Amino acid sequence: AAERETALRRLAGVSLDGQRIIFMRGRDLAPIGPFPVDVNSMRQFFLYLRALARKPLVPDELVRDFGPGAPFAQEAVNTLFAKVVGPTNPKLEAMFGEWERVFGIVYGQELRRAEEDARLLAKLYNVDDPRIALKPLLFAVHTYFALFIKFLAAELATLNQGGYMASFLAPLPSLPDDELRRRLEELEAGGVFAALGIRNFLEGDFFTWYLALWDGDIEGLVRDLASLLGQYEPATPTLEPEGIRDLLKKLYQYLVPKKLRHDLGEYYTPDWLAELVLNQVGYDGDPRKRLLDPGCGSGTFLVQALKRARDYAEDRLLDPREAASQILRNVVGFDLNPLAVIAARTNYLLAMGDLARHVRPIEIPVYLCDSILTPSRYAESFPEGMKPPTDFYELRTTAGVFRIPIEFASRERMEALTRLLEECVRGGYAEEEFIARARRELAFVDGRTEGILAELYRRILSLEEEGKNGIWARIIKNAFAPIFAGQFDFVVGNPPWVNWESLSDEYREATRSLWVDYGLFSLKGWRARLGGGKKDLAMLFTYAACDNYLKDGGKLGFVITQTLFKTKGAGDGFRRFRLGEAEPLRVVHVDDLVELNPFEEAANRTAVFVCQKGRETKYPVPYTLWRRKKGARIGVDLALSEVRSLVKRANLYAQPVNEAEPTSPWITARRRAFKALKKVLGESEYQARVGACTWANGVYWVRIIEQRPDGFLVVENLHQIGRLETIKKITTFIEPDLLYPLLRGKDVSRWKARPSAYILQVQDPEKRKGYDEDWLKVHLPQTYRYLKQFEDILRDRSGFKKYFCQEEKDETGRRRLVPKAPFYSIYNVGLYTFAPYRVMWRQITDRMKASVVGSLDDVYLGHRLVIPNHKLLFVPCNVEKEAYFLCAILNSAVVEFLAKSVMLPTGYSTTFVEGIRIPKYDPATPLHQELAALSQRAHELAARDEKEKLREVEKEIDEKAAQLWGLTE
């Protein structure tokens, strides 16, 4: 049925009488025209004829010939990978090095899971090589994809030039070897595109290295690619404009396995989500309005914006030349990923369709640059009384630091400088000859500029002599795009979701001052260390985009994580909605899409955030909750109108939980519910805690097999639990002293809890670190012996390094981690852990499930306290009735209503409980005593599984809890 629908959609017809011609397209053969029979209409007619003999340029067709299952793709990737890991080559080394540097920023440096996927990627392309590693293999796949894109773009550009029978690809398969290589060199230098009037298609490209390793294998790859791709119709977007999508995004999703993309943090934005963002900021396609996607990826938002701009121009009969010129000036994209930039430029050309023919020369406004870290401006220090020296910009790369005089900080001047640099390097000019031409052609004013230009030329010339040149002048030009771009009416996109801790050390350090300047580092000291500082690069990206690119009154619309509005700590700085101490940002609207899971089955908590620059936020702010209808499936290929038919939307409002703290997490509800919620919200008299965290459960969690006559316990570790696969199974005997019954998340339900294992609790609750090794060796030697077997694993735990080690410099000046606690130390264990009564609940659950837990009589350990793991939270109490009172409140319908209003991204967290206005238990208050008694009764009924009676008691608890907060009126 789907294939038949596609075939009907591609039906076309033509009717003409010699003077006029009518085109018909689609399943209904709707007429378009009439048009006069002239050069333009005949060109369109011939395109339809040619398309009859060619494959349509659509993802499903392309995957058959170029996807990882295709023989050509497997052969190509094998060839390229063999070159990447083969004998070193200066150009390959330079380009791979810069790609790897950018890789660390784009994907982060925590790649353990992604590294494990290298074998999956190798299997996909049938790569059988002992040298398999993630980065070299992915670089080979990226190079393959980049070459495919370049060939496709060259063919498309040739078509748009006006020659409907012209082709870049057609002659390539039969050219002599030398001529084929020359054509490829011309293509990679941008000459093919420049000849067609496109100035910047290939700039700052890291994937030209294959030319330096040209041989029979590379030659065969190029010929086969040209032959296969030549069978496709590049005019498909013109013939089927209703089908314009981000074509290359879908192909890339086939080229790289979903698991690897997700482990790298790559989640491509569905078209419907981009449509929603454009709607929410109010972009209607007016080509006079300026729009930027500062992290454009393969161009999803740009394609949707261009679609609107083309429709706007067509509906209003705008002059095609003027409309095309305005679009090219005003619809702009930036990205730091070189592969994404090539894809986005190609998608831009595809989406422009026949409009692109009306403008020459063209500069595709998609640039390879960092939207956050733009080139830094410096003024060198100078003695007092002397004239200040020339300011300069500084750009850091793996090839060193490039300095650019400040007077070249305009698009035209930078274009002229980089063109002259490339021309002189290729022509073998000496430094003096370059400077002579620069004086004559660049007309710089300040004499001191000459020295900076000479240094710049020397740097690039030395790279040429080392065989490492070919990209740097263009990288410099692109890096300055954010400085030249100006400001925009709309900034849209899906910024990178990379955790602060996963960023490369270099990028963390380089951006640190920006986090501070924008007020995004709100946590200090111990709290930041505890991980409330789980900050996301999207936070900084949002603020930098507002600051650098948004006009006053302009609107930003980003797809970001919903946790920024709901979590305490990490989100506080973001919720300031102010650029440093200066300009305010007004929250216009938030769409909560968490339930829809828009990203390929990924469990990302997605929201669309819209703000306006230069206006103050006024609470409550509109907050729309999207919920899928029962049985509905939200596919990534749906249109926005289709998604809307599958969901229900609740129009809510949001405001800070604590009105006295505007940066506190948001609570969301219907406007009329806020009055009741305000009575419940406030500061609790109780502090919530987290259960014991080991980071190696397979070592600390055990089952007891038997008790020996000498009192020792025979135990077996639960080695399969947790993520550490290197933990081996051990059966041994240890002392019973530090063993405790263990409660896990699954062990706790409403009103009851039952331990399912034991934990070796080796933490000194007073010192907050493991018991001293000297003491443990003497008093509990068998316990120490057991732990010693896992020493390497325990020292390598991420949490041990973070909380129990300190970075110090050794005698050589190198930094290293020095342990400051016994190697078996664990976390979240203090005197509070050993309170006689604790009210425990699961953090991640569909509803609050709290229970009072004290000590129990264990067959092996006697009367002993129960220890919760880190999936459980608790409030310690010294009085039994106080614990029952608190448990009644937490399990009440009032708290459940509050939880749904807050819609907690982190479950029933400590922050949530501490934000409820729970009074201190007072035994003299009858209502407190009644709640405690009802809670104790509920525990007894739950233990006997008397569900009907338990429901009646719970109803009484709900009524009493409502009285507690005055909600009975």
Which helix H or strand E contains 484, and what residues bound it? helix 481-484
- The Cα–Cα gap between 749 and 241 comes to 56
CB count, 10 Å around CB of 806?
10
Bridge partner residues of 392 (DSSP): 378, 405
Instruction: Tell me how many domains the chain contains.
Output: 6
In the three-class reduction of DSSP (H, G, I as helix; E, B as strand; rest coil), residue 263 is classed as helix
pLDDT value at 6 more than 50: no
Residues 17 and 75 in one domain: no
- The Cα–Cα gap between 879 and 413 comes to 76
Phi, psi dihedrals of residue 814, rounded to the nearest 5°: -80, 145
For residues 743 and 840, the answer to whether their CB atoms sit within 8 Å is yes
User: In this structure, what token pair is assigned to residue 656?
Assistant: 């800070």
Higher pLDDT, 582 or 711: 711
Last residue of a domain, one of 320, 347, 374: 374
Last residue of a domain, one of 435, 452, 479: 479
- pLDDT score of 8: 40
pLDDT value at 612 more than 50: yes
Last residue of a domain, one of 331, 351, 374: 374
CA 711, 712, 716: angle at the middle one, nearest 5?
145
Confidence of residue 5 (pLDDT cuts 50, 70, 90): very low
Confidence of residue 526 (pLDDT cuts 50, 70, 90): very low
pLDDT tens digit string along 233-256?
766 555 454 444 556 777 777 777
- pLDDT score of 382: 37
The pLDDT of 413-433, averaged and rounded, is 84
The pLDDT of 825-831, averaged and rounded, is 95
CB count, 10 Å around CB of 22?
15
pLDDT value at 745 more than 70: yes
For residues 366 and 345, the answer to whether their CB atoms sit within 8 Å is yes
Answer yes or no: is 791 within a domain: yes
Instruction: State the pairing for strand pair 376-378/647-656.
Output: unpaired
User: In this structure, what token pair is assigned to residue 452?
Assistant: 């900076």
Helices (H) and strands (E) in the chain, counts: 39, 36
Mean pLDDT of the chain: 85
Answer yes or no: is 174 within a domain: yes
Count of alpha carbons within 13 angstroms of residue 67, beta-carbon side = 14
- The Cα–Cα gap between 407 and 449 comes to 8
- The Cα–Cα gap between 480 and 487 comes to 14
Rg (the chain; Cα; Å): 33
User: Exposed (0-12), middle (13-18) or buried (19+): which is 184, by Cβ within 10 Å?
Assistant: buried
Instruction: State the pairing for strand pair 550-561/488-493.
Output: parallel
Query: What share of the chain has pLDDT > 90, as a percent?
Result: 44
Residues 918 and 957 in one domain: yes
Answer yes or no: is 767 within a domain: yes
Residues 637 and 784 in one domain: no
CB count, 10 Å around CB of 762?
21
Tell me 485's DSSP state.
S
Confidence of residue 398 (pLDDT cuts 50, 70, 90): low
| Closest alpha carbon to 414 in 459, 480, 472 | 480
User: In this structure, what token pair is assigned to residue 827?
Assistant: 């976390």
- pLDDT score of 233: 74
Total number of residues shown for the chain: 969
- Tell me the one-letter amino acid at 579: L
Confidence of residue 835 (pLDDT cuts 50, 70, 90): very high
- pLDDT score of 163: 53
Residues 743 and 702 in one domain: yes
For residues 468 and 94, the answer to whether their CB atoms sit within 8 Å is yes
pLDDT value at 133 more than 90: no
Among 114-128, 276-290, 306-320, 550-564, where is mean pLDDT lowest?
A: 114-128
User: In this structure, what token pair is assigned to residue 138?
Assistant: 């992915």
Answer yes or no: is 15 within a domain: yes
pLDDT value at 281 more than 90: yes
Residues 527 and 394 in one domain: no
- The Cα–Cα gap between 807 and 817 comes to 4
Residues 141 and 250 in one domain: yes
- Tell me the one-letter amino acid at 149: I
| Closest alpha carbon to 861 in 728, 721, 712, 700 | 712
In the three-class reduction of DSSP (H, G, I as helix; E, B as strand; rest coil), residue 724 is classed as coil
In sequence order, which residues have a C-beta less than 8 Å from that of residue 426 and are 6 or more positions away? Answer: none
User: In this structure, what token pair is assigned to residue 203?
Assistant: 């700039």
Higher pLDDT, 892 or 405: 892
Confidence of residue 743 (pLDDT cuts 50, 70, 90): very high
pLDDT value at 377 more than 70: no
pLDDT tens digit string along 38-58?
876 776 676 666 666 677 777
In the three-class reduction of DSSP (H, G, I as helix; E, B as strand; rest coil), residue 705 is classed as strand
Helix H segments across 67-176? 71-84, 90-107, 112-116, 118-124, 134-160
| Closest alpha carbon to 422 in 252, 246, 199 | 199
- pLDDT score of 868: 97
Confidence of residue 381 (pLDDT cuts 50, 70, 90): very low
User: In this structure, what token pair is assigned to residue 942?
Assistant: 């739950």
Residues 771 and 901 in one domain: yes
Residues 768 and 819 in one domain: yes
Answer yes or no: is 693 within a domain: yes
User: In this structure, what token pair is assigned to residue 828?
Assistant: 């979240």
Residues 370 and 382 in one domain: no
In the three-class reduction of DSSP (H, G, I as helix; E, B as strand; rest coil), residue 813 is classed as coil
For residues 346 and 152, the answer to whether their CB atoms sit within 8 Å is yes
Task: Report CA-CA distances (Å) from 27 to 2, 11, 24, 58, 733.
Answer: 13, 6, 10, 18, 77
- pLDDT score of 726: 80
Answer yes or no: is 408 within a domain: yes
- The Cα–Cα gap between 197 and 188 comes to 15
pLDDT value at 373 more than 50: yes
Residues 472 and 498 in one domain: no
pLDDT value at 809 more than 80: no
Higher pLDDT, 899 or 474: 899
For residues 917 and 684, the answer to whether their CB atoms sit within 8 Å is yes
Using CA atoms of 823, 828, 834, 839 in order, give the dihedral in degrees to the nearest 10. Answer: -150
* DSSP letters for 919-956: PPP-TT-HHHHHHHHHHHHHHHHHHHT-HHHHHHHHHH
CA 390, 396, 397: angle at the middle one, nearest 5?
140
Query: What share of the chain has pLDDT > 70, as a percent?
Result: 87
Best-predicted range by mean pLDDT (166-175, 815-824, 865-874): 865-874
Higher pLDDT, 429 or 787: 787
Higher pLDDT, 842 or 250: 842
pLDDT value at 531 more than 60: no
- The Cα–Cα gap between 615 and 936 comes to 53
Task: Report CA-CA distances (Å) from 694 to 758, 915, 936.
Answer: 13, 28, 32
- The Cα–Cα gap between 785 and 775 comes to 13
Task: Report CA-CA distances (Å) from 366 to 344, 541, 561.
Answer: 7, 18, 25
User: In this structure, what token pair is assigned to residue 357?
Assistant: 């023919």
Residues 611 and 512 in one domain: yes
Confidence of residue 194 (pLDDT cuts 50, 70, 90): confident
Q: What CATH number corresponds to the domain at position 654?
A: 3.40.50
Cα maximum dimension of the chain: 108
- The Cα–Cα gap between 837 and 747 comes to 17
Answer yes or no: is 281 within a domain: no
User: In this structure, what token pair is assigned to residue 424?
Assistant: 């002189």
pLDDT tens digit string along 446-475?
667 888 888 888 887 877 766 655 566 667
pLDDT value at 198 more than 80: yes
For residues 461 and 453, the answer to whether their CB atoms sit within 8 Å is no
For residues 852 and 934, the answer to whether their CB atoms sit within 8 Å is no
**Range of the structural domain that residue 819 is part of:** 689-963
Confidence of residue 1 (pLDDT cuts 50, 70, 90): very low
pLDDT value at 843 more than 60: yes
pLDDT value at 388 more than 70: no
> Is residue 405 left, alpha or beta, with left meaning phi > 0 and alpha meaning psi from -120 to 50?
beta
pLDDT tens digit string along 108-130?
655 666 667 788 888 888 988 88
Answer yes or no: is 275 within a domain: no
pLDDT value at 856 more than 70: yes
Task: Report CA-CA distances (Å) from 416 to 432, 443, 486.
Answer: 18, 11, 19
Residues 294 and 163 in one domain: no
- The Cα–Cα gap between 117 and 103 comes to 16
* DSSP letters for 209-251: GGGGG-SHHHHHHHHHHHHHHTTEETTHHHH-GGG---HHHHH
pLDDT value at 783 more than 60: yes
Count of alpha carbons within 13 angstroms of residue 783, beta-carbon side = 26
pLDDT tens digit string along 926-953?
999 999 999 999 999 999 999 999 999 9
Angle between helices 90-107 and 505-517 (to 10 degrees): 40
